[in-house]
Amino acid sequence: MTYSAANRGTRCEWCGVDLPKVAGPGRPRRYCRASHRQRAYEARLVAERRGIGSDEVLVARRSWDALRDALYRLQAAAEDVALDLTHGRPTKASYVEALGHLSHAVRELQDVAVEPIALHEP
Q: Is 53 a domain residue?
A: no
Residues 114 and 46: their CA atoms lie apart, in Å, by 17
Specify the pLDDT at position 70: 93
For 27-38, write each residue's pLDDT tens digit. 888 999 999 999
Q: Per the domain annotation, does 95 fall within a domain?
A: yes
Closest CA to 109 of 76, 67, 78: 67
In a domain, 22, yes or no: no
What letter does residue 64 receive in the DSSP assignment?
A: H
Query: Residues of the chain with pLDDT > 90: what percent?
Result: 42
Provide the whole-model pTM.
0.64
Domain assignment of residue 107, yes or no: yes
- pLDDT digits 0-9 by tens, 69-117: 999 999 999 998 998 888 888 889 988 999 999 999 999 988 888 888 8
Q: For residue 92, tell me if it sits in a domain.
A: yes
Residues 6+ apart with CB under 8 A from 41: none
* β-bridge mates for residue 57, sequence order: 119
Does residue 72 sit within a domain?
A: yes
Angle between helical axes of 92-110 and 61-86 (0-180°, round to 10):
170
Count of domains observed in the chain: 1
In a domain, 10, yes or no: no
